[in-house]
Every structure is written in C-alpha cells, then in structure tokens.
C-alpha cells in the first residue's frame, strides 16, 4: 500500500465511523482542527486547554463513561488500527498488534485507582483527594503507537487531565486516526470536544513547542534516550518512560525447556519491540548447549557466530559510544533478518539466536528486533555481573530462570529494576492477560514512577475541617 492509498484508507475509515456514530457537528469538527488533529501544535495545545476548562467540571463517574468510550472505540477498530500500524511503521505483526490494542482497552487502569484517604481525630477531619494537572504534553513511540496512545489517554483522562500529543513521525497517520476516533466516541458519550489533540505533521520542532508551551502543565514522554534527556532538561514536571535492555540469566538449576518456551513467546512478541522484552540471554556454561537445543525445539533458528556478526554488520551501527539498530531493521520478522545474510526462512520463525561474547553489538544495543544473542557465563555470579553491565544501569527490566530462591532474591536486589520476572517471560511483567497486577505501556524508569496508573497523573490535595465533621 502506498502513501496515497494509506491516506484514502484513513479517510474512508473516519467517514464510515462518523456515519455510523451519527454525531452532531461540534466545535471539534468546525474551524481549526479535525476531531482533535491540528496543523499547528500551538492550536492543538490551546484546544486541549479549552477542553480542560470544561472537563475539570465533570465528575469521576463521568470520566469513567468517557474513558470507557475510548476502550470501546479500541475494541471496535482493533483490526484496522493494527493493520494500519504495520503498514505505516513496517514494525511488528498484525495479530500481536491486535492483542496489544485489546490489552490496552481491557487492562489499562481507570478512575478506580483514585481512592481518597481520610483521617478523623480530635482536631477534625482531613481528606486527601486527587486533582488533575491540566494539559499533559505527551510524546509517543513508533514501536506501539496505538496502544501507548490509548493506554495514556485512559490513564491520563481518568485523572481529569486533557492531553496534547506529539506522536512519532513514522506513526503519525495511525496516531491521528486514534485521536479522531477517540474524540468521536468521547463526544458521543457526552464529552467536550478536543479532550485529546495532536499535530498532523509531528517533528522535533513541534515536540519542542509542546515541551515549552506555557499551557502544558506536565510532560509524559515515552521513547529512547534522546527524547528522555530533552524532556528532563525542561523546567516542568516530567514522567519519562525511557529505554531498557533487559537481560535474562539462566542458571544450572533452571527448567531449560520452560526457559526456552517463555523467552521465545516473550522476546518474539511483536518482533521484540516491547521495551520490557528480553534483549540478551546469559546462560551458565554447564547447561549452555542444552539450552541452545531447547531454543531450537521452540521453533527458533540458530545462527553461527559468523552469521551473528554478519547480521550485526547489516543491522547495527555505532553512534558515538553507543550501538544502535538501523530503523530498517527494528521490529522485522526473523525471515526478513535472515534474508539480509542469505537465508531463506519461513515467516513463522519466531527468533534468530546465536552465541556471541558479552561485549558484542547485539548485547550492548537495544536491538528491538527478532534476533537475540546468547552468551556463555561461568556461573551465577559471573552471569549476574554480566547482566548488570548489559542493562546499562537503566534499571528497567530483568529476568532470571532458577530453582534457587536465594539466587533469585540476590538477582532482583542487585539488578534493582522496575520490572523483574522469575521463571517467566518478561512480557508477563507489566500486567495484562499474561501477568498479574495492573497494566500500562508507560514504565517510567528514569523518573521513578514505574508502571504508571492514573495516580501518577494527578496532584494530591488536602481539605482539613477543623473542629467539625469528626466522629472520634
């Protein structure tokens, strides 16, 4: 599908939805902006600011109805959003994109997280409750443009905020469609227009406008090191979901079949674009070859070390001190990577894997694609040190397969990450259907919020009634 066809598909979907919804004209589709999509970032922020003035008068129950409308929109449009994402970004797999959209719709935490707290005593009654910040300036990644935007809309609107987005340029069409559909469904559920807005042609300049706009009260940023550093330089509160490079350590007590199956499911999911997905595997020497065999049994294709080097040469490059992956290789199917080194493989192959040393570009880069290095380590302690180094101090995600609870404890204490999994794929670590606990696409490691909920996007406020309304 070329650009013109893609644009026509978007317009056709929007037309169909508007007809089905029978939504009356509102300020959102008059004048500037098209259901929240604006040519100018300043207009996008102004519109979100006007929307905030109306939205802040709404009750928590009303916010629930409005965010439920976004959940419903996602379920109704999951197939076309998933297909469009793969067409536009060339990353990932359609079935996994659909699953991620369903997960964001079903499992993103909502207003139920905002439970007030009260204290009653001889001096009266104190009540802590939550108030919105205002307009949130939000940057979304190319790797899961729809689900991140939808998850962030739900958790940030649940807190009573409105949101102006600067989507990733390589996902601007699908993100504009999400904004339009979300506004249409929310208006139908009784919301004011423009609760969420975005700029049609996002660039680094529009991101700077968003960061520095006086009507943006809080920044919520998801992306690589560059965008996180830039946001953290802003004199505003920032919630930053930055990069990771999750290591897995497998010791000689581990269930190797389980480890291979779990890692295969998790690291191949949507071609490894998840920030929490395993990026390198350290295996204790005495069980190394057995583990490599189990990876093959799980359907993966083993590369020789020479092939790992050749693929690294094609896909990875050095920028200053860092190894990065070329955009053309992010989130690609294993057979596409295989083709680059002359292999003809089935589209069904989950991962390519092969032995490298611990300083190899495949280990130090956050590769986000269907190839994973496996490194021999002497013992548990050697593997722990190697894992610590490979994680680069991001403190994002790490996992271990072991039957020794003391080693698991030591691993999690030393790695000190926001997300750890023990004897399971890291995909299970951020909630959703495969894990436990609440889910979010925003794991704010650099700023310390961890897996975000609406509680991270509200101001805590207190009311104290002196000498009255006390029961004790």
Which residues are near ligand NAD by CB under 6 A? 139, 141-143, 166, 168-169, 204, 207, 222-224, 226-227, 230, 241-244, 275, 366, 441-443, 445
CB of residue 141 to ligand NAD, shortest distance in Å: 3
Question: What contacts 438, CB < 8 A, 6 or more positions away?
Answer: 107, 109, 113, 431, 451, 453
Query: How many angstroms separate the CA atoms of 333 and 354, rounded?
Result: 16
Structure tokens at 117: 């707290």
CB of 276 to ligand NAD, least distance (A): 8
The span from the CA of 95 to the CA of 80, in Å, is: 11
Closer residue to ligand NAD, CB minimum distance, 254 or 275: 275
- Nearer CB in complex with ligand NAD: 223/424: 223
Q: Considering the complex, state which of residue 272 and residue 307 has its C-beta at the smaller distance from ligand NAD.
A: 272
The sign of the torsion formed by the CA atoms of 435, 437, 442, 444 equals: negative
Residues 78, 102 contacting (CB under 8 angstroms): yes
When the beta carbons of 139 and 248 are compared against ligand NAD, the nearer one is 139
CB of 441 to ligand NAD, least distance (A): 6
Q: β-pairing, 124-132 with 37-38?
A: unpaired
Q: How far apart are CA 52 and CA 156, in angstroms?
A: 12
Query: Do 195 and 183 meet the contact criterion of CB atoms below 8 Å apart?
Result: yes
Q: What is the nearest approach in angstroms of ligand NAD to the Cβ of residue 448?
A: 12
Show Cβ contacts of residue 434 under 8 Å, excluding neighbours closer than 6 positions. Answer: 425, 427, 428
Pick 283 or 419: Cβ nearer ligand NAD: 419
Residue nearest to ligand NAD (CB): 223
Check: CB of residue 278 under 8 Å from CB of residue 246. yes
Its sign, for the CA torsion 386, 390, 391, 392, is: positive
Rounded least distance, CB 222 to ligand NAD, Å: 5
User: C-beta of 363: minimal distance to ligand NAD in Å?
Assistant: 16
Of residues 376 and 420, the one with the C-beta less far from ligand NAD? 420
386 φ/ψ angles, rounded to the nearest 5 degrees: -65, -40
Q: List Cβ neighbours of 445 (8 Å cut-off, separation of 6 or more).
A: 240, 241, 242, 244, 394, 395, 396, 417, 418
Nearer to ligand NAD, 263 or 368 (CB): 368
CB of 393 to ligand NAD, least distance (A): 14
Of 193 and 247, CB closest to ligand NAD:
247
What string of DSSP letters covers 438-460? Answer: ---S-EETTTT-EE--GGGGEEE
* Residue nearer to ligand NAD on the CB measure, 358 or 441: 441
> Tokens 């660039």 label which residue?
203
Cβ at position 210, least distance to ligand NAD in Å:
9
The least distance separating ligand NAD from the CB of residue 93, rounded to whole angstroms, comes to: 17
């Amino acid at each position: 599908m070329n650009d013109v066809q893609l644009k026509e598909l978007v317009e056709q979907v929007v037309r169909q939805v508007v007809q089905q919804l029978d939504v009356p004209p509102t300020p959102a589709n008059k004048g500037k902006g098209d259901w929240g999509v604006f040519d100018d970032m300043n207009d996008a922020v102004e519109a979100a600011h006007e929307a905030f003035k109306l939205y802040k008068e709404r009750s928590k129950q009303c916010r629930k109805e409005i965010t439920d409308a976004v959940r419903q929109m996602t379920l109704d449009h999951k197939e076309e959003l998933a297909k469009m994402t793969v067409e536009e970004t060339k990353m990932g797999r359609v079935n996994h994109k659909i699953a991620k959209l369903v997960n964001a719709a079903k499992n993103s935490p909502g207003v139920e997280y905002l439970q007030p707290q009260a204290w009653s005593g001889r001096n009266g009654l104190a009540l802590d409750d939550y108030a919105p910040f205002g307009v949130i300036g939000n940057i979304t990644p190319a790797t899961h443009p729809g689900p991140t935007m939808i998850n962030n809309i739900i958790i940030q609107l649940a807190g009573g905020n409105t949101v102006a987005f600067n989507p990733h340029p390589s996902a601007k069409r699908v993100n504009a469609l999400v904004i339009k559909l979300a506004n249409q469904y929310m208006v139908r559920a009784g919301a004011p227009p423009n609760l969420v807005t975005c700029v049609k042609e996002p660039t680094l300049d529009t991101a700077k406008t968003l960061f520095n706009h006086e009507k943006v009260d809080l920044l919520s940023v998801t992306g690589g090191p560059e965008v996180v550093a830039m946001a953290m330089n802003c004199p505003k509160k920032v919630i930053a979901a930055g990069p990771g490079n999750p290591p897995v350590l497998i010791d000689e007590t581990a269930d190797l079949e389980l480890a291979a199956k779990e890692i295969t499911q998790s690291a191949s999911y949507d071609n490894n674009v998840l920030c929490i997905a395993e990026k390198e595997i350290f295996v204790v020497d005495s069980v190394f070859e057995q583990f490599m065999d189990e990876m093959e049994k799980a359907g993966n294709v083993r590369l020789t070390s020479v092939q790992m080097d050749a693929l690294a040469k094609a896909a990875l490059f050095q920028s200053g001190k860092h190894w990065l992956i070329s955009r053309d290789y992010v989130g690609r199917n294993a057979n596409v990577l295989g083709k680059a080194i002359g292999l003809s493989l089935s589209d069904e192959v989950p991962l390519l894997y092969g032995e490298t040393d611990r300083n190899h570009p495949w280990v130090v880069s956050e590769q986000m694609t269907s190839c994973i290095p496996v490194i021999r380590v002497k013992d548990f302690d050697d593997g722990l040190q190697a894992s610590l180094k490979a994680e680069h101090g991001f403190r994002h995600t790490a996992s271990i397969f072991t039957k020794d609870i003391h080693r698991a404890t030591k691993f999690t204490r030393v790695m000190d990450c926001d997300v750890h999994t023990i004897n399971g794929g890291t995909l299970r670590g951020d909630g959703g259907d495969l894990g436990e606990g609440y889910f979010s696409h925003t794991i704010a490691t650099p700023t310390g919020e961890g897996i975000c909920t609406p509680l991270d996007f509200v101001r805590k406020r207190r009311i104290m009634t002196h000498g009255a309304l006390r029961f004790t």
